[in-house]
């Protein structure tokens, strides 16, 4: 791998921000304290867009006084080098051939959690969705405060299972019953989300499905980018395939190998596929087809994003925390 470029940057301050809020010096110092005590490393993203791979990583290191007398939260870290990214086809990650993933049965959902950025979607706007999902299963509300120049409209839709998951060697009868229960549950959730989208009079937000994989203490994520009703229906109906693909990848490698499992729905093939995978030790980011196939409907020239980030050309970066 190449040599990573180190950086030192202002993460926040006691000044009034664009959203009309501000931290106290004590709050900034608490962030530094918790970062060190809980061993939190933060991924570096372009404007909080976690549907694109991280650009580097860092930690909140100190609180320093600026020339104007305000206090600033300073982060230090490293930008990933181009050699830290690798094409999925050139990696040692094995994808399932037909039938191999069928042993991974989607866990029976028991509750739901809806997360959103209050700076992009108001609580009053999201309330009807949460209330209607609550008629299907207990539904929790979770705020993900992301302050960026252009707030990203995202709904994180987490499905929490009755148990850790039904992975291997279930009796055929039990497995069939599990599939029926799950299908009925997902069908109700799908229709509720579609009904919510129909009430909106502007662009639909991205939807990121989250399914905890208890066997490895990791959350599987599957993103659907600005979906219309048809695409959202297809993606929802194929959630069991999302889980099966991710479970196969996780189980085919040593436990704890991955930090992130990020899949994405391809609206052309109507299939879930790898968006990007990140190894636990921050050594490698494995990129899916959308970053190399120019005919892909979600093609992203990510190498240019990386180049601009390294050279600080018109890119706004943000940090999001992960515990080591």
Q: What is the 3-state secondary structure (H, E, C) of the chain?
A: CCCCEEEEEEEEECCCCCCCCCCCHHHHHHHHHHHHHCCEEEEEEECCCCCCCCCEEEEEEEEEECCCCCEEEEEEEEECCHHHEEEHHHCCCCCCCCCHHHHCECCCEEEEEEEECCCCCCHHHHHHHHHHHCCCCCEEEEECCCCCCCCCCEEEEEEEECCCCECCCCCHHHHHHHHHHHHHHHHHHHHHHHHHHHHCCCCCCEEEEEEEEHHHCEEEEEEECCCCHHHHHHHHHCHHHHHHHHHHHHHCCCCCCEEEEEEEEECCCCEEEEEEEEECCCCCEEECHHHCCCCCCCCCCHHHHHHHHHCCCCCCEEEEEEEC
Residue 22: predicted pLDDT: 80
Q: Name the stretches of the chain with pLDDT < 50.
A: 164-172, 321-324
Which residue ranges make up each domain of the chain?
A: 5-83, 92-283
Residue 170: predicted pLDDT: 45
pLDDT digits (tens, 9 = 90+) for 196-245: 999 887 778 999 999 999 878 899 999 999 999 999 999 999 999 999 99
**Whole-prediction pTM:** 0.87
Residue 60: predicted pLDDT: 86
Residue 166: predicted pLDDT: 43
Residue 208: predicted pLDDT: 96
């Amino acid at each position: 791998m190449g040599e990573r470029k180190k950086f030192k940057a202002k993460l926040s301050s006691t000044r009034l921000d664009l959203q009309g809020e501000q931290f106290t010096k004590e709050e900034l110092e608490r962030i530094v304290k918790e970062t060190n005590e809980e061993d939190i490393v933060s991924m570096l993203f372009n404007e909080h867009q976690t549907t694109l791979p991280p650009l580097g990583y860092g930690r909140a290191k100190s609180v320093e006084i600026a020339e104007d007398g305000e206090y600033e939260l300073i982060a230090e870290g490293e930008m990933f080098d181009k050699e830290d990214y690798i094409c999925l086809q050139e990696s040692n990650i094995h994808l399932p051939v037909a039938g191999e993933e069928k042993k991974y049965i989607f866990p029976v959902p028991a509750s739901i959690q809806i997360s959103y950025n209050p700076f992009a979607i108001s609580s009053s706007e999201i309330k009807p969705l949460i209330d209607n999902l609550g008629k299907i299963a207990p539904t929790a509300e979770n705020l993900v405060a992301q302050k960026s120049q252009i707030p990203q409209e995202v709904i994180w839709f987490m499905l929490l299972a009755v148990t850790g998951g039904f992975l291997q060697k279930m009796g055929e009868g039990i497995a069939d019953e599990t599939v029926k229960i799950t299908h009925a549950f997902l069908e109700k959730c799908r229709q509720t989300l579609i009904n919510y989208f129909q009430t909106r009079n502007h662009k639909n937000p991205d939807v990121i499905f989250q399914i905890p994989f208890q066997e490895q203490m990791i959350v599987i994520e599957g993103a659907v980018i600005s979906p219309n009703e048809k695409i959202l229906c297809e993606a929802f109906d194929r959630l069991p395939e999302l889980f099966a693909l991710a479970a196969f990848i996780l189980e085919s490698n040593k436990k704890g190998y991955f930090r992130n499992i990020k899949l994405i729905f391809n609206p052309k093939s109507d299939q879930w596929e790898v968006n990007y995978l990140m190894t636990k030790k921050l050594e490698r980011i494995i990129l899916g087809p959308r970053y190399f196939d120019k005919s892909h409907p979600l093609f992203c020239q990510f190498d240019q994003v990386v180049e601009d980030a390294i050279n600080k050309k018109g890119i706004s970066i943000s940090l999001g925390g992960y515990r080591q």
